[in-house]
Structure formats: structure tokens, C-alpha cells
């Protein structure tokens, strides 16, 4: 039995290596139908593999139709069956943790630095793909900068395929264009400028039924503003920061910074004046249900996200004219999005990690491959007008049966990404320029801390956040609750957490010198 397994493994390796040789030469005139090993004059096709991927959110109506087309195009080469499994956002992290804990043999999953990547990497649940990446996706591998690869590397092991889409995480103010035209007569650069707009639009006789600001309850409230005031976000879930101008990277809990009180007071003022929704902690919190429904005037988000919002606003109501975007605090440093803001991790129990890497290589190899995975089937889900995507018939970006599927960001590639016809012709240039507007890579890029000695303290700190901190940071409580919150976080073990993580960060810094 053992000898048979070894024999099969050797045959499989030979088949894949032969396939790679053929695959890399397809553009050189080789027969693209010959995707196997010629042994004794007989062609043996590579064994079929079924690849299971997990993504957050919901599948689109035509997801299966597009995957069938991908499989058809790859039948004579990679010979794979694709299963894209979708799990609701609120259940996704726990689902992935359970699957890895029980040793499920799924192949890959979507992850980020603020989801489960850190925990799974520390537990050894992710496959080290360093050699696989170079061997089975060499052209894709070459596209990544050292910083991008470093972000996905933990203790010398490459544990994720980062997205290749450098962009700024600078917060921007995005406003429905028709409302901006009526009520904004200057460039908006600060939170104070935003508040002036709120004062005007909140007059019920002017815009009845419209709440000035859309707020996502599954984000981080006023902690999202920390970078506007000179702090680097180290841990989003634990609200830990350090100063951009601090070469020692001394970690500070957000609630212990001087700016925290000011921001709590700002959000409480916005909440009591009705600038943000009264049900802010339970609101739908996504543009599909809020801004697009005509209930909200604006949101604070990152530049890249304005593209899709603007498209959808135009599709739903032409009178809204899409959205306009204002860069906040352009003179202050913002960080380049972490390469593992959107990443694909391969399960260490996967039976076909090599085929996963080859699939990723295929997606990035040609514009038509990328278009199929991201935009769908040409002339059915999208058309091309020059180099821009156009939706046929009654299909819009809002109701597309395929475009905009959740988790697609792991495949995004700045070299292949297309604008839509409703975007300005220079949109990609704007996107690239925004990534260079007073931006820096995160100083701690590639750092991940071990939780072994502080598990209970981290859980306690998170519990205090959920019981008091979330409401405090979303404006439901005023600054009179800050001292109580700070004290309870200290009792939860914040000092031990900071000491432990700081020592790990210091060792990591020393190791890089």
C-alpha cells in the first residue's frame, strides 16, 4: 500500500512538472491541447483535482456558471473542478477556525490581517507556500515586491498569497454628488469641515429623511480616525497603536491617547445631533442598504471603495449623479494598505496546493483569464468599450448576477484591473496617485505576535470593548464614561498585553537589522 502511494505521488509530480513545461510554452506555439505526460507513446492527462475555496459573503446568481466556464477552459491543462463556498460575513471567521481545527481538507480560504490570519499562522494551520509559489506560479511570484511578500511571511514562512493591488488606506469623505453640488462649496479636508456639511444637510426641511453619515457597525468607530492624528494601527481588534514619528514603536492602547477623549466627544456630538443613525450598532451598515436606498448622504471610507459606490448610485438613480470623494488630512501620513488586507491562505491539510498555485498563475497570466474570474463571461455579464467594462442590457453594477462577488479581491491585480465606463478615463491613474499621496508602508509590516502568554487577557480586553468600548467609540456614550472604560481595560490585563507584545515587536525589529 505504502509503495503504491509513493508511486502515485511520483507520477503526480511528473505529470504536474510536464504540465508546467507545456503551460509555460503555450504562447510559443506548442499544442495547447497536449497537457499530459507522454509515456511510451501514450498521452496521460494530469489527474483531475477538485479545489475548494472559502469566501465571506454570498454567492452570486451566476457564480456556478462562470466557474463552469473556467473549468471548461482549463480542462486540457490544469484539469480542475472549482468549488467556491460562501459563508455569511458574521459567521466566516469562526467557520474557518473550526474547519482548520478539525483538519478539514478544503484547499484555500480568504483571509486578512484583521481576521484570522494572525491566529492561524501562530497555530501552524497554514501551509508554507514559499517553494510552491516559486515553482508553480513563477510569473505571479515575480510581480510581488519584497514588502508585499514580507507582509505574508511569519517566522520565515510564506503563509499567504497577497493581493497585488497597492493602494492608500487614507480615509476619504464620499458624498452623494447631487448633495455635494447643493451644499458643499469648498474642499473638505478635515473632520471639522465634514461637521459643517452635517449641520447644513441635517436641516430637515432641506433633505427630509436623510441621515448625514452612514456608519458601518462592524468596523471600529472612532478608532478608524487614529491614523488621521498621527498613529499607526498595530492591532485593529485590540485597538492598539503607536506613533508614526516614534522609531521605537512604543505601543499605546487607543483609549490612553490624548486624542481619544476628543474623538469620543466628537462622535457623541454626532450621535446626539442625529448626524449618524440612532441604531448605529445594529444598522445594516453596508452601502447596498443605506446610501443606495437614499437614506444616507455620505460615508467616511477609503478612496478605492468610491468607485463601486459611485457606479451603483448612478445605476439606481441617475439624479444622484454618483458620488464625489474628498481626501482627508492630505498633509498627514497614511499607510499603504497591507498586502494581506486581502489574501488567500492555503490550508495545511490541502491535498492539491500545487494546483491552487497553478490556478492563481493562470488567472494572472492573461487579461482574458482575469476578466473571466473578476467580471464574468464576456457579452453575457459584461462588454468592453475600449479598455473599460460596460454592462449589457439591463444589467448594472448593482444587480449584476456575477460582477462584484465577495472575496474576489484576492485575485485583484493592478496590472489587469479595469475601470467601468462610468468611471473617469483616468480612474486607474487616480487610484495609483492616491497610493502615493503622502503614504508609507506600515513600519511593522510582516510582524505577527504570539498570543500564548496573553490569551485570557486578550479575551478579557475584547470583552470590555464589546460591553462598553464599542458604544463609547460609536458615540452612544459621552466622555464621562472614559475613565470607567480605561480602568476596566487596565483590570482586564492591558498592561500585560502591552508588555508581551512590545517585547515580541522589539525582538522582531532587532532581527530585521
State residue 88's pLDDT score.
92
State residue 220's pLDDT score.
64
State residue 169's pLDDT score.
81
Count of residues for the chain?
513
Give per-10-residue mean pLDDT for the chain (513 aa).
41 44 34 39 68 94 96 92 94 92 94 85 90 94 88 88 84 89 91 92 74 75 86 91 94 96 95 89 60 82 69 76 85 84 93 94 95 95 90 85 92 86 70 75 83 92 94 94 97 97 91 67
d(CA 371, CA 141): 20
Cα–Cα distances in angstroms (integers) from residue 11 to residues 7, 14, 37, in the given order: 6, 5, 9
The topology under which CATH files domain 2-26+45-166+340-372 is D-Maltodextrin-Binding Protein; domain 2 (3.40.190)
State residue 38's pLDDT score.
37
The radius of gyration of the chain from alpha carbons, rounded to an integer in Å, stands at 24
d(CA 181, CA 173): 14
Nearest to 447 by CA among 496, 498, 508, 502: 508
CA pseudo-torsion sign 80, 82, 83, 88: positive
Asked whether the beta carbons of 337 and 166 are under 8 A apart, the reply is yes
The number of beta carbons lying within 10 Å of the beta carbon of residue 94 is: 11
Q: Give the β-pairing of 296-302 and 171-176.
A: antiparallel
Q: Which residue has the cell 507520477?
A: 11
State residue 308's pLDDT score.
65
d(CA 152, CA 118): 10
d(CA 406, CA 398): 13
Cβ burial, residue 344 (10 Å; 0-12/13-18/19+): buried
DSSP 338: P
Question: Angle between the 258-272 and 191-201 helix axes, to the nearest 10 degrees?
Answer: 10
Q: Check residue 2 and give left, alpha or beta (phi > 0: left; psi -120 to 50: alpha).
A: alpha
State residue 398's pLDDT score.
76
Asked whether the beta carbons of 147 and 339 are under 8 A apart, the reply is yes
d(CA 454, CA 475): 29
The residue extents of the domains of the chain are 2-26+45-166+340-372
Amino acid at each position: 500500500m505504502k509503495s503504491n502511494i509513493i508511486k502515485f505521488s511520483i507520477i503526480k509530480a511528473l505529470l504536474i512538472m510536464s504540465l508546467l513545461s507545456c503551460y509555460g510554452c503555450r504562447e510559443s506555439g506548442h499544442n495547447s491541447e497536449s497537457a499530459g505526460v507522454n509515456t511510451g507513446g501514450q498521452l496521460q492527462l494530469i489527474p483531475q483535482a477538485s479545489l475548494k475555496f472559502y469566501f465571506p459573503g454570498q454567492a452570486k446568481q451566476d457564480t456556478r456558471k462562470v466557474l463552469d466556464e473556467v473549468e471548461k477552459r482549463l480542462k486540457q491543462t490544469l484539469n480542475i473542478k472549482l468549488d467556491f463556498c460562501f459563508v455569511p460575513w458574521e459567521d466566516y471567521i469562526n467557520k474557518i477556525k473550526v474547519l482548520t481545527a478539525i483538519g478539514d481538507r478544503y484547499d484555500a480560504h480568504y483571509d486578512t490581517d484583521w481576521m484570522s490570519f494572525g491566529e492561524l499562522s501562530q497555530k501552524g494551520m497554514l501551509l508554507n507556500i514559499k517553494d510552491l509559489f516559486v515553482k508553480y506560479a513563477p510569473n505571479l511570484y515575480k510581480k510581488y515586491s519584497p514588502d508585499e511578500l514580507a507582509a505574508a511571511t511569519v517566522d520565515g514562512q510564506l503563509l499567504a498569497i497577497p493581493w497585488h493591488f497597492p493602494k492608500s488606506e487614507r480615509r476619504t469623505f464620499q458624498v452623494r454628488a447631487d448633495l455635494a453640488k447643493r451644499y458643499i462649496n469648498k474642499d473638505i479636508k478635515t473632520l471639522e469641515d465634514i461637521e459643517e456639511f452635517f449641520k447644513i444637510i441635517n436641516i430637515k426641511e432641506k433633505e427630509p429623511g436623510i441621515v448625514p453619515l452612514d456608519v458601518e457597525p462592524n468596523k471600529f468607530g472612532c478608532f478608524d480616525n487614529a491614523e488621521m492624528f498621527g498613529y499607526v494601527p498595530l492591532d485593529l481588534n485590540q485597538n492598539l497603536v503607536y506613533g508614526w514619528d516614534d522609531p521605537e514603536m512604543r505601543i499605546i492602547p487607543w483609549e490612553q491617547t490624548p486624542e481619544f477623549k476628543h474623538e469620543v466627544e466628537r462622535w457623541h456630538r454626532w450621535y446626539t445631533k442625529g448626524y449618524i443613525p440612532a441604531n448605529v450598532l445594529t444598522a445594516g451598515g453596508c452601502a447596498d442598504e443605506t446610501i443606495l436606498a437614499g437614506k444616507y448622504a455620505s460615508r467616511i471610507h477609503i478612496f478605492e471603495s468610491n468607485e463601486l459606490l459611485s457606479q451603483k448610485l448612478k445605476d439606481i438613480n441617475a439624479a444622484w449623479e454618483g458620488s464625489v470623494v474628498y481626501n482627508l488630512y492630505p498633509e498627514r501620513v497614511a499607510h499603504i494598505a497591507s498586502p494581506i488586507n486581502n489574501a488567500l491562505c492555503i490550508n495545511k491539510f490541502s491535498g492539491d496546493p500545487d494546483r491552487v498555485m497553478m490556478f492563481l498563475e493562470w488567472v494572472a497570466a492573461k487579461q482574458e483569464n482575469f476578466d473571466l474570474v473578476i467580471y464574468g463571461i464576456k457579452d453575457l455579464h459584461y462588454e468592453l468599450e475600449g479598455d473599460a467594462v460596460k454592462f449589457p442590457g439591463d444589467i448594472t453594477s448593482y444587480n449584476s448576477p456575477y460582477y462584484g462577488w465577495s472575496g474576489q479581491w484576492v485575485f485583484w491585480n493592478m496590472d489587469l484591473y479595469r475601470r467601468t465606463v462610468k468611471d473617469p478615463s483616468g480612474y486607474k491613474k487616480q487610484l495609483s496617485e492616491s497610493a502615493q499621496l503622502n503614504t508609507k508602508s506600515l513600519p511593522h509590516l510582516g510582524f505577527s505576535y504570539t498570543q500564548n502568554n496573553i490569551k485570557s487577557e486578550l479575551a478579557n480586553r475584547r470583552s470590555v470593548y464589546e460591553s462598553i468600548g464599542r458604544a463609547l467609540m460609536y458615540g452612544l456614550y459621552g466622555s464621562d464614561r472614559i475613565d470607567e472604560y480605561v480602568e476596566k481595560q487596565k483590570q482586564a490585563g492591558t498592561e500585560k498585553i502591552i508588555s508581551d507584545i512590545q517585547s515580541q515587536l522589539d525582538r522582531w525589529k532587532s532581527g530585521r537589522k
